[in-house]
Chain A
Amino acid sequence: MRADIVRLYRTVHSWTGIVTGLILFIAFYAGALTMFKEPLERWVTPPSAVTPLALERADELIAATLALRPNAAKDFTLALEHGDGGVAGEQPLRLIWEAMRYDPAPWSATLQPDGTVGIEQLDPSGVGMLVDIVHRTVGIPGDLDIGTMVTGVASALYVVALVSGVIVLLPSLVKDFLVLRVGRNLKRMWLDAHNIVGIVSLPFHIVIALSAVVFGLHDQIYDALDEAVYGGRMRAVMMESSPFRAVRKDPTPAAMLPPTEFLARAKALSPDFTPIALEYHDANTRSATVRVWGRDPRHLVRREGFVLMSATRGTIIDTEYMPGHQGSWSAMVSAFFALHFGSFGGGVVRWTYFLLGLAGAFLFYSGNLLWIESRRRTERRAGGPVTQSRSTALLAAGTVGVCLGCVGGLSLTIAAGKWLNGLVTDLNAWHYGVYYAVFLASCAWAFARGAARAGSELLWMAAATTAAIPLTSLLALAVPGLGLWASADLIAVDLVALAGAAGFAGLARATGRRVQQGPRDSVWSGIASPVGMKAAE
């Protein structure tokens, strides 16, 4: 590899890295948490009274609900399980429908013990949704599309950063691979760690980066394709691939088969498919259809797949989204989704993705540290006291404030969920309020106090807020009068948080030592150099 090419790509790598580092840190840290958003959601939700699902009464529920709300017949869903397999306690059989497309608060109907139907508006967007939104938009408030586009553009730069990083590393790859030089040269050690994590998880990063570009920018890409490739006919081409392409609308009233029949037919088609919901369309008409949604961890599918059936005759209409029964193009695209979501292979893949996500967050954090370190002014070279440049001081403060603000904000909003649940009417808004309060306060704190002091202080904050998660559960057990609760099957949430808190506390101690005793010619030193003092006067 020619030296000038490596030099060139080192510049490409540092610029793409520095522009996107903080955005990607948030996306990865929150993304790691999304792997377990259902357990998190259940952790903040009190266990409800157990009323088992009564599938044999589903017909009764559907008929009674549609009599009350005929508009729901166009599209409604019969939920067969709740959250992550319904472990938190089985819930009553529930019909869900939306008053408008992408309704944030859909409606729900359940059978009451007295045989009547109870209708309520759901407010499902809790802490799991918050983690997901932060992952997708890095917390940029307002229109979801703007935040998603920002992550899309950042992901595009991230692809370039990956390629350039590999080019920079190639010449020394054989010599330095998996070598971690722990020693006096801290920059060398950080660089080794950055390289090890980057190379070992490179396949994961390539997959995540490219799919994130598509998730963030698919509207723009489709628009361009429509214009340049499909001559404005793209909608029509898409409709030709729709699962509903063969369904002709026929409003003539017709009786539908019972839900158990659809489940039996789905099972006959694919025995390992676990149904989670039945989605009806144009119910009680001749063109009524039902989508049997479900999971099959043996296949690379989007989070869920479905088989489309006629609701009156039970014939299978389309399997393009059914795990193991897809056409080749559909199966390949589903695989791209699955590789981003980690929605295959069950628990092992989930935990692997969780750890790879955290490792990714470390990658971007260490990248910023290396940027700062390689612009460091040393006393040795200057032959006397130095002050660090404004840009490194600002980037150091920003890195500490944004990264630790995100960590602390997410931890505290999870812990607060358990305290606030039932106390406040709009829990969802509270979740956002807590997250943004911690995040913005951390950023402000970092710039006000300077990177060195704020670094260790905010790490203690991150440790404390994360420790609040297991402490809340512990308090629930120790002081039952508080109205809190703890469930044994969610102990993993508490244990992971405890480990995280211990990790942050360890880092906080090390950082605190560095502020006091570390070399004074560093942006991380709390001891102002004589020059700095003079400049401040």
Chain B
Amino acid sequence: MTAATPRARPPIRPDWWSKSLAGTLLGFTLAIAISGLFAWAGPGGPGALNKIQFNMWMVAPVWLGVVSFCFLFRSGLRAWLWLGGANLLAYAALHAARTLAQ
């Protein structure tokens, strides 16, 4: 936002259903992808002993972090678009990491 636009930012639309659903569903799939990225490309690589349990534990904070903060999106539509985009990126990266590791 530049100084030339003095008008205030539009208020955040609540869009409860849309945002909650986006956060819960896309937040979960995003958390799974990030956990998977950590599993394949993170420290220790895919074969580290007992890392699989740690990977699973990671899902909860990432997922619920997204749910908690998804209400900050200015609208439900924006929540779906941003989180959907993040999912696309994360799964593309996961796919690349798996291909490289195998």
Contact = CB atoms under 8 A, between A and B. Distances in A.
A240 B59 CA distance: 21
A210 B65 CA distance: 11
A126 B33 CA distance: 43
A43 to B, nearest CB: 35
A8 B71 contact: yes
A329 B35 contact: no
A320 B49 contact: yes
Given A5-B12, A9-B71, A214-B57, A159 B64 contact: yes
Interface in B66-82: 67-69, 71-72
A213 interface: yes
A221 B50 contact: no
Interface residues of A, number: 36
A159 B67 CA distance: 9
Given A8-B14, A160-B67, A229 B35 contact: yes
Contacts of B55: 225, 229
B22 interface: no
Contacts of A214: 56-57, 60
A240 B67 CA distance: 34
A451 B64 CA distance: 34
B56 A4 contact: no
Given A9-B71, A229-B94, A221 B51 contact: no
A341 to B, nearest CB: 15
Given A225-B56, A225-B59, A329-B48, A164 B32 contact: no
Contacts of B32: 221, 224-225, 228-229
Interface centre among A9, A160, A330 (most CB of B within 10 A): A160
Interface in A207-228: 210, 213-214, 217-218, 221-222, 224-225, 228
Contacts, number: 99
A228 B53 CA distance: 16
B100 to A, nearest CB: 15
B24 to A, nearest CB: 9
Given A160-B64, A237-B52, A4 B11 contact: yes
What band does the interface of chain B fall in when counting residues whose beta carbon is under 8 Å from A? Answer: 35 or more
Contacts of B56: 214, 218, 221-222, 225
A239 to B, nearest CB: 10
Given A225-B35, A228-B32, A241 B50 contact: yes
Contacts of B60: 156, 159, 210, 213-214, 217, 221
A224 B28 contact: yes
A224 B39 CA distance: 14
Contacts of A329: 44, 48-51, 53-54
B36 to A, nearest CB: 3
B68 A160 contact: yes
Contact of A234 (B12, B52, B59, B64): B52
Contacts of A229: 32-33, 35-36, 39-40, 55, 94
Contacts of A156: 60, 63-64, 67
Nearest to A234: B52
Given A4-B12, A11-B14, A336-B57, A241 B52 contact: yes
A320 B44 CA distance: 16
B52 to A, nearest CB: 6
A217 B65 CA distance: 16
A134 B99 CA distance: 46
Contact of B52 (A159, A231, A238): A238
A4 B28 CA distance: 27
Contact of B54 (A8, A240, A333): A333
B59 A327 contact: no
Nearest to A12: B71
Given A5-B72, A225-B56, A330 B14 contact: no
A221 B68 contact: no
Nearest to A218: B56
B6 interface: no
A163 interface: yes
B90 to A, nearest CB: 10
Nearest to A4: B11
Interface centre among B59, B60, B63, B98 (most CB of A within 10 A): B60
B23 to A, nearest CB: 9
Contact of B68 (A159, A237, A333): A159
A163 B69 contact: yes
A20 B60 CA distance: 18
A339 to B, nearest CB: 11
A371 B61 CA distance: 27
Nearest to B67: A160
B70 to A, nearest CB: 10
B94 to A, nearest CB: 7
A38 to B, nearest CB: 27
B68 A332 contact: no
A195 to B, nearest CB: 19
B64 A213 contact: yes
B19 to A, nearest CB: 10
Interface in A296-332: 320, 327, 329-330, 332
Given A156-B64, A221-B59, A225-B32, A327 B52 contact: no
A464 B52 CA distance: 49
A-B interface, 3 closest residue pairs, ranked by CB to CB distance from nearest: A229-B36, A163-B68, A330-B50
29 contacts: A4-B11, A8-B71, A12-B71, A159-B60, A159-B64, A159-B67, A163-B68, A213-B60, A214-B56, A221-B32, A221-B56, A221-B59, A228-B33, A228-B36, A229-B40, A237-B46, A238-B52, A241-B52, A241-B53, A320-B50, A327-B48, A329-B44, A329-B48, A329-B50, A329-B53, A329-B54, A330-B49, A333-B53, A333-B54
